[in-house]
Amino acid sequence: MNKKLTGFFLVFVVTVSAGYCQALIPANDIFNLVKKVSDWQVRLIEENGWKYPTTDWTNGAYFAGEVEWAKMTKNENHLNFLKSVGEKNKWKGGPEKFFADDYCVGQTYAELFMLYKDSVMIKPMIELADSIILKPHTEPLTWNFEGGLHNREWAWCDAMFMGPPTLAYLYKATGQKKYLDIMNKLWWRTSDFLYDSTEHLYYRDSRYFEKREKNGAKVFWSRGNGWVIAAITRILDQMPAQYPDRRRYISIFKAMAKRIAALQQTDGTWHASLLDPISYPVKESSGTAFYTYALAWGINHGYLPYKEYYPVIKKSWEALAACVHEDGKLGFVQVPGASPDHVGYEDSEVYGVGAFLLAGTELYKLTHLKSR
């Protein structure tokens, strides 16, 4: 090769390599933004108290993100903050024993147990899990709020984030396969009921099977599907590689990821209604954060191709960054609900912060992985 060609080749390689590196979101930018949001939320709680009970699902979802961020950064102050919450709760869930929302906090208890090896942290959740195993779980999942179905079964898609990961984490914490087996049995019972195999999305509950949006499309709620795809990642993180049904989770995950990526809006987010974004034209950060987290996790674990999904993630993270106020408040979080709804810049909720922390933690890992 002559000198001119050699020089051209070197310049080409350096240029392409530099372009590749520049394509990555700087790790420091991710770190500083996630820290800013995490610190803001902790500070808000310390100054104003809790908006919801500390055993509530809202906080359970927040803790899920906070503990992952604190573990990765080895932030003892935030870990101690989470331990103080567990102690305040006496390591129990909410008042409705078998209501998935009321034992979402068990995920964090199990993670803290795995860090500190104090059995007090998971004893009440083990007792709950043993009780869940003993129940028959034969009741139809057709939505029946008045009849208290939600207090007995996972009959709505949010529950798939609240309940199953708690049992999966208990399996990892104790080594007791029975907790993973009951989780798996109940997961597929709910998944088979709520999953639309044509759209590769989940209905919120049976009330939405026949409902339609203004444009005639089926009703698929952004955060609702965010709950599900985020739950799959958290379950797979705890599930052994040789577990019989593992491939089924991976198959659903890949199908959802492909569909979700195709539904991203030009502003980089996913609006409250996945199939009728025009009726809800404003970005929504909680669903967007869950998708960002799940897609980044998929790349990190080799299930999703980097070249195809990183541009989606980069665009969504930049959109999420624009939702963060100067003081660290995360805006554009749809308030608690069961279906698509309107949302604004000032709207913020702890579960949205939890999703943001999950997304930022996973994206930070991805950036380090790809920049090596």
Residue 315 corresponds to which amino acid?
K
SS3 154: coil
SS3 295: helix
Residue of 56, 101, 102, 158 marked catalytic: 158
Q: Cα 93 to chain center, whole Å?
A: 20
SS (H, E, C) 297-354: HHHHCCCCCHHHHHHHHHHHHHHHHCCECCCCCECCCCCCCCCCCCCCCCCCCHHHHH
102 is catalytic: no
Q: Rounded to whole angstroms, how far apart are CA atoms 286 and 137?
A: 31
Q: Rounded to whole angstroms, how far apart are CA atoms 288 and 68?
A: 18
Q: Rounded to whole angstroms, how far apart are CA atoms 271 and 285?
A: 8
User: Any bridge partners for residue 330, and if so which?
Assistant: 324
What amino acid positions are annotated as catalytic residues? 158
